[in-house]
Chain A
Amino acid sequence: MQFLGYVSWRLLKAAALLVAVISLNFLLIRMVPGDPATVIAGESGMADADFVARIREIYGLDQPLLVQLKTYLVNTLSLDFGHSYRLQTDVLALIIERLPATIALTGAAFIFSLVVGVSLGVIAGSRPGSKVDVAIQFVSVALYSVPVFWIGLMLILVFSLKLHWLPASGTGFEYGQIPGVLEFLSHLLLPMITLSLFYIAVYIRLARTSVVDVTHQDFVRTAKSKGLPSAFILRKHVLPNAILPVVTMAALQAGHLVSGSIAVETIFAWPGIGRLGYEALVQRDYNMLLGVFLVTATMVVLLNLVADVLYVVVDPRIELVR
């Protein structure tokens, strides 16, 4: 019962956040210099007087600001994200079409970076000061400092253009036929690694610090005083305590991978919503842009929600006290 209470409270919070995001969207579009109606219409040549008037009516742009906000909220919440006048298509429909590619990319990158990062972090943290530790830390600092878009280009340069090992762009789905799993994976590999590198660095750091901290805690000494073997202590006492906060932290950040995928999708011509957003940005297609932004933010909110609830399930210490 308590748990359900927590979940519903957390759901309410997520809903409030979403309303805030939509309001921010509304605010952003008002910030664009010029007449919002023409802005929404996409500053395109077809923005004739009739058309602009229709937009004005749909969005209630002649109404007071608060009424406009309400209209916008209602429209958005009823999943009416508007129309992309550049691409001549419904915004939401196109986003939904592109979403799976982004989820595949970010999901793969998340799991890959978490597994690699945490493993390396644990290896380094369980033997602090050793050569392995120093080497892993060095890798972490280097990965942390590499600009994502640049390393993406460098990987393309080396593995696609020079060595011809892996394809440089697309998903393999392009020509209408369903590619084999291997074909898809070979397309996925480079963008996934590119997107992962930064997060691998972050997770190495988090995991290493966490393991080192936990190793110095009193209960590890107690375990030792009981005569437990050190490998057993690491596995049963150190790791559960060390990894729990790292995974929570990672889950909370998972949403930000979506934001990081903008540059990666652009470089690798990956047909996800990151690239869609980028194109909208360049073409000043504001409805599309805000739609993508909204979906991205929603994903972040939902992932945070899942992470919070999972944390309560996993950690017995959480007494549901705020």
Chain B
Amino acid sequence: MLEIEKLSIVLPSGADRALAIKDVSFSVKSGSTLCLVGESGSGKSVIGQAVAGLLPQTLHCLKQSSIRLGGRNLLSLDECAWRRIRGREIGMVFQEPMTALNPLMPVGQQIAEVYRSHGLRLRKAEVRDRVEGLLERVGIKDPARISKSYTFRMSGGQRQRAMIAMAVAMKPKVLIADEPTTALDVTTQRQVLDLLADFQAETRMALIFITHDFGIVADIADEVAVMESGNLVEFGSKEDVLARAQHRYTRKLLAAVPRLHEHKASVAERSTPVLEVRGLSKTYGVATSIFRRQDMRVLNDVNFKVCKGEVVALVGESGSGKSTIAKCLTRLTSIDTGSIRLDGADMLSLKGEALMKLRRKVQIVFQDPYGSLNPRQKIVDAVSAGPIAQGVASREARELAEHLLTIVGLGRNALDRYPHEFSGGQRQRIGIARALAAKPEVLIADEAVSALDVTVQAQILRLLADLRDRLGLTMLFITHDLRVAGQVSDRIIVLKAGNVVEEGPTQAIFTKPSNQYTYSLLQAIPGISSNESALVRNKCVC
């Protein structure tokens, strides 16, 4: 029904390539789902924007391109005609529901606007009934209240549901969903995917789902289009693409998807605990008004141990307290009760010089490759900062930095350059080198691969595994992604709302989880439910 032919989109001069999209053709049938897959910069979102007529003014389509919907070439429409198509025939859902909704207008009113702008003359009560009915349809429990609410009072899931309600209000023929679940927790993601599928079954709309996650592809796609730097490199049915990928790049992407159970256990001895956390609790005071403060318990009596040479994964959804644990262990925040022992020494009783000495033994690699390096500091200064703070002479520190940069796969020519000259993956390597330079007993990786594209993610995970084997590194790996945890860890600790709900060897957690929450987390992993046998066969999830 929707046919894209020879779509080429020109980037402004000075961009890293001339065309954002090069000669892309494909079509989507009514009632079917096309997954548009690619890494960042592949142009997958640009196609979505082009189909919805929302291209930024700096981009424009080449003449021979056409996007046909029901026989009409959308690219030849003027703004006025486009306006009648958007929202009525083509709906769009965006990635970030928080910013995609107007913060100063109640949600119901934002939905009602759709009816009004497409010429439906309805009375006030009718509009209200329709809006509330629609909100109920997308699974919002208290539609009358939510309809009058502002977005800041809603949860991420509710916002995305409202967003979807807005997009499907006019029952469009095509729905474009641009990474609609990336900002959501896995369990919410699962619900949103189900909701979309449900709608599709009801209205027979064509769904173009833009994603980077092959798990989702395995779950929902009928057809798959793989994009690589503006080119459509592979197009076919889901079964064909997942099982018999033709193009080298598709195979590379598939190979990079984290596999459950492909883990080889570390060889190091596992008897001496390096890090012992006992009864760790933390509450944040959250001001609910000027006078009232409510205590929010983010950690509740957390206990765990990490042994020498072991990789332990801390897994949880947002708000589970996993990052707070990282902050406590690095002493970036205070704790209320409990003890943290490193090599038997109590970390919390230390102050001043002794704290400085001990804190260097716990190092951390952060999530954001762009925020974790000082933009105005040369790489050599960043990596040698730890040793220099420990009193190593600057010449020696430079040599050490050079050595470590080689270990993490960067050359010595990286030394005198600035962070902006490096890609995300390279920066993450630099971050790892910087942490290693301090000769840590324990390395904490706080969502260290979450912001990276799958292929880069796979490389960094390989590097970490390699480092563990070569250097006997002890690691605490914090992640929201069970698949990643499964790939790197010996043991998994599952956190929920500040409590440890389950702990055990990785293999055991995946095969026979004892806790209901862990089970639901596992079920929510995209790609798992559609291919239950993957669990048994110890193979790729997709």
Give the B-binding residues of A (Cβ under 8 A): 2, 5-6, 9, 217-219, 221-230, 232, 236-237, 240-241, 244, 315-317, 319-322
Contacts and interface: CB of A to CB of B under 8 A. Distances in A.
Interface stretch (B102-110, B371-379, B489-497): B102-110
A237 B103 CA distance: 9
29 contacts: A2-B289, A6-B289, A9-B290, A9-B291, A218-B94, A218-B96, A218-B99, A219-B100, A219-B103, A221-B94, A222-B92, A223-B102, A224-B86, A225-B86, A225-B87, A225-B91, A226-B114, A227-B83, A228-B117, A229-B117, A230-B79, A240-B105, A244-B104, A317-B104, A317-B150, A317-B152, A319-B289, A320-B289, A321-B289
B9 interface: no
A263 B102 CA distance: 43
B86 A226 contact: yes
A276 B14 CA distance: 61
Interface in B148-177: 150, 152, 163, 166-167
A289 to B, nearest CB: 37
Given A218-B99, A218-B100, A227 B87 contact: yes
Interface of B: 52, 54, 79, 83-88, 91-92, 94, 96, 99-105, 113-114, 117-118, 150, 152, 163, 166-167, 287-291
**Which of B91, B102, B167 has the most chain A CB atoms inside 10 A of its CB?**
B102
A222 B290 contact: no
A227 B102 contact: no
A227 B172 CA distance: 12
B289 A228 contact: no
Contacts of B150: 316-317
> Main SS of the interface on chain A?
helix
Contacts of A223: 102, 113
**Which of A221, A223, A232, A236 has the most chain B CB atoms inside 10 A of its CB?**
A223
A229 B83 contact: yes
B355 to A, nearest CB: 31
A17 B251 CA distance: 68
A321 B118 CA distance: 39
Given A5-B291, A222-B101, A228 B113 contact: yes
B307 to A, nearest CB: 43
A222 B100 CA distance: 6
A240 B87 CA distance: 23
B94 A322 contact: no
A108 B96 CA distance: 44
Given A5-B291, A317-B103, A320-B290, A225 B117 contact: no
Contacts of B287: 321-322
Contacts of B114: 226-227
Contacts of A230: 79
Contacts of B289: 2, 5-6, 319-321
**Which of B104, B105, B118, B287 has the most chain A CB atoms inside 10 A of its CB?**
B104
**Which of A6, A9, A224 has the most chain B CB atoms inside 10 A of its CB?**
A224
B94 to A, nearest CB: 6
B289 to A, nearest CB: 5
B244 to A, nearest CB: 36
**Which of B88, B103, B163 has the most chain A CB atoms inside 10 A of its CB?**
B103
Contact of A217 (B92, B99, B118): B99
A241 B104 contact: yes
Contacts of A319: 152, 288-289
A11 to B, nearest CB: 12
Given A5-B291, A6-B289, A221-B54, A316 B94 contact: no
